[in-house]
Chains A and B, each alone.
Chain A
């Protein structure tokens, strides 16, 4: 009997040992990748509050908040082979006032990657999951005012873009502001606004990701907030000082897919 137990313990030890070394190997096969997001407005750097900018409609504005979700990051090799970042750790809330949030750190397998794809916003599956699967940046406790979550119409705010504009009409709070809260995952049991947008960044011109052992590849991406107004459809603050859950939100979400451009890759 005692012998049997010893044998079992022995096997167990061998098993756990080989398992941990396997896990270590697996980690060793992963290289590091950082997506660095550099926020600008046209050709000026984005600075909250103090700096003022002009959009194509000729409206002068400043920015008081600029937050958005990036999720479901995927990488592609030349032959189309795909690497999907494990979903549970693929949700990132980018906030202009939090510099650390503008660096997305990922672990990826060794390889040469020619493009990166991600979602702006939160996919519908995660938006309807049990709240116990929505922690960290997806915690709904933040609510609407400070957080990125609509409590009255369950769902995440994918992008929150707010600022002051002297030409804007006076709103209920007595201020001249623009407030763009863009969300909408398509409706829970009845189709509704779907503002989930996917962005693909082609790396072939400015530098591929060459992920090797013990290296940290850095992909620098410029994010031009002016595109919210100046994208495919020109949006005027005077005409649309507040855009939330309505049809104009679709135009804005289309516009902001054009915010991202690849600057360089450092391997």
Chain B
């Protein structure tokens, strides 16, 4: 009889402890099949408080001049933190930007930010959309004033930084902490790579091989980008954005843009730096038959003197099946990344 009780007690406490550990905040955890992050996570450890403060700020409309939009307005979680349905970014008072808003995803591994890599550290990123006239069009001093006027923020900043002064740097660091926690590493592809019992289907497997032969040198696994800047042969008659050249001023960088990740491709339409393609089929057609020759065109897109990547319709079908395995449903539905 007594033994039975013991077993029950042990069982209950086990369940209790398990449920407890679920709710314990683990900080930044590097997925095992990912490389080491670029962001100095060890120097800036993410705490529960800093992450939650960052999240609060990410969804804070006081960051915009007319208090109408937050970071989350143009980086929507259900679209893998992109601005669904917009080719170029859409700021306050319906002002339009010049480029497509990229996903907030796996930023801890990013070496450079923006399509042209003009910003080289995540902490220096947030000031840009906040002060950009076609995005949030606000001054940091006003943002700080608005935040300081709210007791809740003063308490939260005090909990994280030990002072309720609230400075720009503190806001930027907290936003970085939220953003580096937006990790997408739970797609079907990830399960296969982690050697769980999940397997690719035959079609996906064929697609994976096509990917490895044709796409993987730029869209490098496991992040599906090598972080480099390349000219992928887009027609630039209508959009004369020269990309990387605006930062380096090097004519060899003309029309080069950062290689985007292919993770969550289904959710991040439209595609390219100006969102010109709305469907993956258009993107594949571009690579097979739409490339424009130019002196900075990436050499990998002109192998043996032949422009483009030759793919049959069958191969395209298989490739698309593989690309679907990069969708991470968990990432776009995780409650802890949503507005609370």
Residues of B within 8 A of A154 (CB): 118-121, 124
**Residues in A whose Cβ lies below 8 Å from that of B169:** 131-132, 134-135, 139-141
Q: Which residues of A contact B172 (CB under 8 A)?
A: 131, 140
Contact among B124, B141, B248 with A192 in the assembled complex (CB-CB below 8 Å): B248
Q: Tell me if A141 and B167 are in contact (CB < 8 A).
A: yes
Give the shortest distance, in Å, between B43 (CB) and chain A (any CB). Answer: 8
Q: Does A247 interact with chain B (Cβ within 8 Å)?
A: yes
The A contact surface, by secondary structure, is: loop
Shortest Cβ distance from residue B279 to the other chain A in the assembled complex, whole angstroms: 30
Q: How large is the interface on B (under 10, 10 to 19, 20 to 34, 35 or more residues)?
A: 20 to 34
Q: Is the CB of B128 within 8 A of A141?
A: no
| Residue pair B248, A143 in contact (C-beta under 8 Å) | no
Report if B299 contacts A (CB, 8 A). no
CB distance from A61 to the nearest CB of B (A): 26
Interchain CA distance A154-B130 in the complex, whole Å: 15
CB-based nearest B residue for A153: B118
In the complex formed, the residue of B with least CB distance to A146 is B139
In the complex, what distance in Å separates the CA atom of A91 from the CA atom of B168? 19
**B131 in contact (CB, < 8 A):** yes
Q: How many A-B residue pairs have CB under 8 A?
A: 81
Q: Binary interface profile of B, 111-140, with partner A (CB < 8 Å = 1, else 0)?
A: 110100011110110011011100000011
Asked if A141 meets B247 with Cβ closer than 8 Å, knowing A151-B128, A151-B131, the reply is no
B45 CB to closest chain A CB (Å) equals 14
Give the interface size class of chain A: 20 to 34
Which B residues touch A134, using CB under 8 A? 169
Contact check, B168 vs A141: say whether CB atoms are below 8 A apart.
Answer: yes
For A159-193 the 0/1 string (1 means CB < 8 A from B) is 00000000000000000000000000001111111
Enumerate 16 A-B pairs (CB-CB under 8 Å) in ascending A order. Answer: A128-B121, A130-B121, A131-B173, A134-B169, A139-B168, A140-B168, A140-B172, A143-B139, A145-B139, A151-B131, A152-B118, A153-B246, A153-B247, A189-B111, A191-B248, A246-B249
Interface residues of A (CB under 8 A from B): 128, 130-132, 134-135, 139-146, 149, 151-154, 187-193, 245-247
